[in-house]
Every structure is written in structure tokens, then in C-alpha cells.
Amino acid sequence: MLINNLKSKIQNRDACVAIIGLGYVGLPLAIRFSQEDYSVTGFDIDEEKVKLLNIGKSYIKHINTDDITAMSANGFKATSDFSKIAEVDVIIICVPTPLGVHNEPDLSFIHGTLENIKPYLKENQLLVLESTTYPGTTEEILVPFINSIQNQESKIENQKFTLGVNFYLGYSPEREDPGNKNYTTKTIPKVISGVTENCLELTKALYDQIVDQTVSVSSPKVAEMTKILENIHRAVNIGLVNELKMVADKMDIDIYEVITAAATKPFGFTPYYPGPGLGGHCIPIDPFYLTWKAKEIGMNTRFIELAGEINTAMPHYVVQKVGEALNSVGKAIKGSKILVLGLAYKKNVDDLRESPSLELMDILLDKGAKVEYSDPFFKTIPRTRKHQFELKSIKLNNDLLRSADLIILATDHDDFDYGLIQKEGKLIVDTRGRFNNSEKVVKA
């Protein structure tokens, strides 16, 4: 009855938990397990993150340093030494799953993790994947991986795993929403699955300790598809309002007024808002995992592709509006001083992942604009895979606002003084519907 031993350990908080990948998903999860008195070890290949955590510092704005120090006081250690995997009972993988340049799934972080932990896996461990991925990943990649582990590949003697008997595998998609003040890791219901009944039982026993509600589904691929559906839903609904924004604009209708009015319908309608493009790690990326997988079975995901096409075109649409606005006062984009407000992909967070602001700035610079930006969350712009800027955030004041030929509101942080901007700005291109209608405001 190996399963009962592990289950008791989990339920009695005697289990040691390893969290691999200490980013937006793994770090809050580590904190949550630590809060419930589990012995938690955090793994990351980024030595800088390991170092910061071990001196009690947070590198994510919405995660408090207090939570890190409390976790450290409770025994948490971060490490990049994967041999310590041999010392834990539960391993949770929270590594990124980005897209390759051809919009294909990039599972290199998952594969890298599996290679790193392979020599140190041992009997009676529970391994759970939390990374968002296409339906079938757990069954098609992780199951064969576990089944392939033989004695010669392990640094621990006599290892041969039988899933559900002496090794357990689950999939539970992360549902983190950075900056959401209404829901936390604890209060967001968690979808769980296992490759066998025993695997599900243990996965459920584990998450039942740290979240208020677990939702069991019948297989890992159902859990994988669940997370993808959640993000497809958002990507398509945002694509839809972005398309309708352009139609409404041509009809001289303010789409924000329309959405606000429609949102008074108490059933059958949920408001989504347009913007300068999609950002964040989930919405622009995850849907294409399904698109890629669907091709394998000869199916198309046309809504996803249409949403991708329209959302990707948004920064260009904004630039077109910028060009028209400047033209109306006899100026070209080239040589104009353009101030971009907000770099983060959504308001009030310090998260730059896939932010359309960067794309916007790249296009404007390419067209010869003199681009400046202001974002209280980014004093400078960290280098990303696609973009590199040598700019510093500018603090807004009357003179600065007056000196810009055009101001683009890209991300509507609450910190901005909208009254001042509307008063002092010469021309404003508003991609968030935040400014009052006036002659100098162009909605885009």
C-alpha cells in the first residue's frame, strides 16, 4: 500500500514538496505550500532568482517580500541543484511553455526539466505538471518518460516505475491571474487529473491541502483542454471586440459606450474590452497549442487563427490611427515626438511578457518617431527575446505632456493622472477608452 504511505505523508504535512520553475506560477505555489507547513524546496535554472529568494527578496511586484521571508523562516530553500529532487515526495513542474517562431509549442523547458530530474526520481514520488500545454502532453510525453526510466538511467539503484503503483503522475493547470485582487492561489478552484485512479487520488489529496476547491476531471487531456479553453475563450472574445471596434469606429460609434450599455444585460452577455493587442504569457500563446495539435488530426481551429490575426494586427491599427491624427495637424510620424504611456501588458502590473506596447514602440521607432515612454513599473525596459530599447521611463509633468506631439495611452495604469494628461496633451490616441471624448482624443 505505497499509495497510502504517500497519501498520509501529504495529508499530515510530512511530505517534502519541490516546485520547479519559480516564476509567476511556481512562486505563489511555493508560498502557498509553505503557508500550510510543508517543507518546500524551490528549483530554478536561473541562479539570480535562486539568490534573491535565498536572501528573502521578491522579484515579482505583486508578490510581497513578507511572504518570501515568512517562507524562508519556515524552511524554504531555493536551489538550482536538481540532485535534491531525490529528497522530496512531491514534484510540481511550473515551467514556461512559450511558442516557437512558427507558433509551434516550445516544450523545451519541460524537456529540460525532465532531463534534469531524471537521475533523481525515485519510487513513491508524485509528479504533477502545471504548465499550460496541448491536450495529450501528459499522456504522450510524461508517461513514456516515466515508463522509460530504468536502473541504468537513475543514480538511485533499482529504479523501475509502474505508474499508479510505485510512481504517480498528475496534471493540474495553473490558473494564476497576476494582480487579481479578488482571487488568490487558495481561493481559485483547481482542476486536477491523474493518469491512473491512484494518481488522481494523490493529486487530489495534495491540492486539497492548499486550495479551497479541487475539481477532478476524468483524464489529463481533459484538464489540459480545460486550461486551453479558458484562454481561447478570452483570446477570441478580445479578438471579436477588436474587430468590432474597427467597424464601430468607421460608423462613428464609440465601442466603449456600446460595451458598457450591453454589459447592463444581466444574462447572456459578458463584457470584453478592446486594446492595442494581446499581452501576457497566456492569452496570446496558449490557444496556438491547440491549433498545432489539431493539425495532427487534420482539424482547423479557425476562431483561434482569426483571433490571432486580428489581435496581432492591433498595434498596426494603433499606429495607423497615430499617423492619421498627426496628419490632421500637418505632421508626419517621422520626427514627431510620441509619448507612450504604459509598457506592461495590463494595468497595474509589472509584467512585460508579450506586451503590445513594445511592438507599438518598435513600429513607431522604425517609422522615425522620437519615442519616449512613461511607466511607473518600469524605470528601464528589460531586454526581451523580441525587443531591445535603450530608454528610461519619464516622469509625467505639464511641460513634458505639452512637449509631446502625440500621446498614446497603451496601458491604463491607475497611477496616471488622466485629468492632467487630457488637459495638457496636444493629441491623444486612446487604446483603452479611458479619456473623455473630445477633439484631441482619438480612440484606437
Q: Just list the catalytic residues.
A: 282
- Taking CB under 8 A as the criterion, the residue among 246, 365, 391, 394 binding a second copy is 246
CA distances to 320, 340, 368, 384, 428 from 361, in Å: 13, 8, 11, 14, 16
> Binding to a second copy (CB under 8 A): which residues in 120-179?
135-136, 175, 177
In terms of CB distance, is 101 or 251 closer to a second copy?
A: 251
Total of chain residues touching a second copy, rule CB under 8 A: 63
Strand partners, 429: 408, 442
CA distances to 36, 152, 169, 298 from 161, in Å: 29, 13, 11, 35
Q: Which stretch binds a second copy (CB under 8 A): 110-118, 140-148, 238-246, 406-414?
A: 238-246
Cell numbers at 342, concatenated: 504604459
Site string (279-318) toward a second copy, x via CB under 8 A: -----------x--xx--xxx-xxx--x---x--------
In terms of CB distance, is 77 or 233 closer to a second copy?
A: 233
Q: Does 239 bind a second copy (CB under 8 A)?
A: yes
- Taking CB under 8 A as the criterion, the residue among 4, 83, 218, 397 binding a second copy is 218
What radius of gyration do the chain's Cα atoms show?
Answer: 24
Q: Does 442 bind a second copy (CB under 8 A)?
A: no
- Our CA dihedral for 272, 278, 283, 289, rounded to 10 degrees, sits at 130
User: Roughly what angle, to the nearest 10 degrees, separates helices 47-54 and 65-73?
Assistant: 80
User: Roughly what angle, to the nearest 10 degrees, separates helices 302-328 and 286-296?
Assistant: 140
Q: Does 212 bind a second copy (CB under 8 A)?
A: no
CA distance 77 to 336: 51
In terms of CB distance, is 272 or 389 closer to a second copy?
A: 272
Q: Specify the residue for cell string 516546485.
A: 19
Q: Summarize as ranges the residues that interact with a second copy (CB under 8 A).
A: 135-136, 175, 177, 180, 182-183, 187-189, 191, 213, 215, 217-219, 221-223, 225-226, 229-230, 232-234, 236-237, 239-240, 243-244, 246-248, 250-254, 257-259, 261-262, 264-270, 290, 293-294, 297-299, 301-303, 306, 310
